[in-house]
Amino acid sequence: MDVTIDPRAIQELREAMAEVRTLRGIVPICASCKKIRDDSGYWDQVESYVAKRTDATFSHGICPECMAKLFPDPEAGRGRRRRP
């Protein structure tokens, strides 16, 4: 049986594999603050831990649930009075 492999497919696979870096194993994370313990026993922020071990970058935002908790009244604290 003659199997012909497309050289373009091989190149695409190589490029995809070159871009993949994964975390493996058990990641010890604090149930409260979500810091992650590294192999040296140091507790690090999730973003820092992942950035050191992968090529991932983070973009921060606030989800709707946290927005409601953090800012229950968007007009509060702006020095404005509410109209009756």
Q: What pLDDT is recorded for position 81?
A: 54
pTM of the model: 0.53
In the predicted model, is pLDDT for residue 16 greater than 90? no
> Residue 50: what residue type?
V
Residue with the bigger pLDDT between 35 and 25: it is 35
Under a CB-based contact definition with an 8 Å cutoff, are residues 18 and 10 in contact? Answer: no
In the predicted model, is pLDDT for residue 83 greater than 60? no
